[in-house]
């Protein structure tokens, strides 16, 4: 099997073509970083160890074995829920986008003692994420893992599309996604990647789907700068502002 990278074909990504209607629309509509995560199509990691992605579309579902496209944005996320069991529509108590400091985005403390939480307040409205007792090993359900849940946000711009898909790499995929990003030979927004799935089992014997990324091709600096300006910069601003946008929703 060859390890050579595919040749990048910019014409497959209309946003990179000067003078295209799509590029003009993006330059206008993304001004000020007005896009939110709710505007993007979320592609969940399937449950039960499935090895196929299910992409919601306007006309149904698109089922694929691999998601491919430019990795226009990559970010970190961590949440602390009010209880071990979450319910639909429930807000987390704390959220972080840098895994260093967190802000309170919910008003329900659940089974968490507010006085204990305040011991980790930084004095500026944030909390010391790394020092939280719920972010230590063996603090999770049944004494396994961490109660705080960390993930990685990957936004993939597929060929011919204007807006990226949002994929959340859950804890079971951190061991594959983190090293992949760290070892890229170019900034992530210059990487065309493929995301496959393989079935793994947790320590408790439950099957889950683990993301397996691969590098397909790389963009040159000129096209990388276009991606950074059109997508990466406004999407990163969006990610930084998600703490405030999530409060009270």
pLDDT one-digit tens code per residue, 92-132: 999 999 999 999 999 999 999 999 999 999 999 999 999 99
Q: Are residues 174 and 228 in the same domain?
A: yes
Radius of gyration for the alpha carbons in the chain, expressed in angstroms and rounded: 19
- Residues 113 and 232 both lie in one domain: no
Distance CA 194, CA 215 (A): 6
- Last residue in a domain, options 143, 162, 183: 143
Single residue among 143, 161, 178 that ends a domain in this structure: 143
**Residue at 249 is within a domain:** no
Query: Which sign does the torsion angle of CA 157, 158, 162, 168 carry?
Result: negative
Does residue 189 fall inside a structural domain?
yes
| Collapsed DSSP state (helix, strand, coil) of residue 164 | coil
Number of domains into which the chain is organized: 2
Residues 63 and 179 in one domain: yes
Q: Are residues 42 and 105 in the same domain?
A: no
Shared domain for 171 and 231, answered yes or no, is: yes
In a domain? residue 198: yes
What is the helix (H) or strand (E) element at residue 127, kind and residue range? Answer: strand 126-128
Within-domain flag for 51: yes
In a domain, residue 21? The reply is yes
Name residues whose C-beta falls within 8 Å of residue 71's C-beta, 6 or more positions apart in sequence: 154, 155, 156, 188, 189, 191, 192, 193
Q: How confident is the model at residue 85 (pLDDT cuts 50, 70, 90)?
A: confident
pLDDT surpasses 50 at 182: yes
Domain co-membership, 68 together with 185: yes
Angle at 106 between CA 127 and CA 37, to 5 degrees: 95
Domain presence at residue 1: no
* pLDDT cut 70: percent of the chain above it: 92
3-class secondary structure, 185: coil
Same domain, 165 and 103: no
- Pair (158, 220) in one structural domain: yes
The contacts of residue 19 (CB under 8 Å, 6+ apart) are none
Non-local CB neighbours of 245 within 8 Å, separated by 6+ positions: 36, 37
Residue 5 has pLDDT above 80, yes or no: yes
Cross-strand pairs, 173: none
pLDDT band of 58, cuts 50, 70, 90: confident
CA distances to 86, 149, 185, 214 from 3, rounded to whole Å, are 43, 34, 14, 11
- Residue at 222 is within a domain: yes
pLDDT of residue 244: 45
Judge if 71 and 166 occupy the same domain.
Answer: yes
Range of the domain at 206: 10-77+152-244
177 and 207 part of one domain: yes
Residues 63 and 182 in one domain: yes
Whether residue 159 is found in the same domain as residue 234: yes
């Amino acid at each position: 099997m060859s390890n050579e990278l595919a040749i990048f074909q910019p014409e497959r990504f209309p946003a990179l073509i000067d003078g295209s209607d799509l590029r003009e629309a993006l330059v206008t509509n993304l001004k000020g970083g007005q896009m939110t995560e709710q505007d993007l199509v979320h592609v969940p990691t399937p449950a039960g160890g499935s090895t196929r992605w299910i992409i919601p579309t306007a006309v149904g579902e698109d089922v694929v074995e691999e998601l491919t496209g430019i990795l226009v944005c990559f970010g970190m996320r961590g949440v602390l829920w009010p209880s071990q069991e979450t319910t639909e529509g429930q807000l987390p108590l704390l959220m972080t986008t840098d895994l260093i400091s967190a802000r309170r985005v919910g008003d329900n403390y659940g089974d968490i003692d507010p006085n204990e939480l305040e011991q980790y307040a930084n004095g500026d409205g944030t909390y010391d994420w790394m020092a939280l007792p719920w972010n230590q090993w063996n603090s999770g359900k049944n004494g396994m893992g961490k109660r705080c849940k960390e993930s990685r946000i990957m936004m993939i711009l597929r060929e011919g599309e204007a807006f990226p898909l949002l994929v959340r790499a859950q804890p079971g995929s951190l061991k594959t996604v983190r090293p992949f990003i760290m070892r890229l030979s170019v900034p992530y927004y210059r990487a065309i990647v493929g995301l496959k799935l393989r079935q793994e089992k947790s320590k408790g014997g439950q099957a889950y789907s683990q993301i397996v990324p691969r590098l397909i091709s790389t963009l040159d600096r000129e096209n990388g700068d276009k991606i950074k300006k059109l997508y990466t910069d406004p999407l990163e601003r969006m990610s930084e502002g998600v703490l405030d946008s999530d409060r009270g929703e």
